[in-house]
Amino acid sequence: MSPLFDLTGKRALITGSSQGIGLALARGLAQHGAAVILNGRTEAKLEAAAEELRAEGFTVETAAFDVTDPAAVKYAVDGIEGNGPIDILINNAGMQFRTPLEDFPEEEWTRLMRTNVDSVFYVGKAVAKGMIARGAGRMVNIASVQAELARPGIAPYTTTKGAVRNLTRGMSTDWAQHGLRVNALAPGYFKTPLNKALVEDPAFTEWLQKRTPAGRWGNVDELVGAAVFLASDAASFTTGQTIFVDGGITTSL
């Protein structure tokens, strides 16, 4: 393995990592040598995911806490740091809710904002304290092609992912002087539990295949390369950027 991409000796916290993109990224970092800490709200799902990775020979911890609760976040991060530094943070926790904007429930708007934006701020701030003290750290916030594009029925989700992209820029601007690198990864349309309804919709899949230059859905393991790059020394002078991994959908009309 090239030393530029070697994560041996690093500990990585991945939020929302009991399934989908989060679990794929945790596996990818572990394959490159990192010890990973899985996060979610359900202990049973976390342990199942952890056992899956341990069976593959990886070093895995779990940390069940609600990323939308700032007090719970601080308590959990302090506990994790008590066992060793968090060198890498991937802010992946997120949710979706689809309905026409004129009918969008206010409580779902609030839940989207708390889950997709507030959590990035809460976890990022808590983890940054230790990173700043050590003078080093890598953060990857999971944005979306919806940071750049909009579709009917998901305007609030689009709002949250645009906020994540700009929060990434703000974090980088404030924290680069302390040795932190903060970037965002923006997936296109991937086969995940979050997109289950769309994956199972033949009409949507046909539209996506025509709309995307690559002509298909993405597979979650295709996000690993970009995540490892951003978490590694290969990206030592890369900060404040958003990398789109989307099969070309944001580049073409």
Q: Which are the catalytic amino acids?
A: 157
The letter for the amino acid at 101 is L
Q: Return the axis-axis angle of helices 119-134 and 155-175, rounded to nearest 10°.
A: 10
What is the Cα–Cα distance from 68 to 185, expressed in whole angstroms? 20
What is the Cα–Cα distance from 228 to 231, expressed in whole angstroms? 5
Kindly report the CA angle at 13 between 64 and 187, in degrees rounded to 5?
Answer: 105
Q: Is 64 exposed, middle or buried (0-12, 13-18, 19+ CB in 10 A)?
A: middle
Point out which residues pair with 61 in neighbouring strands: 37
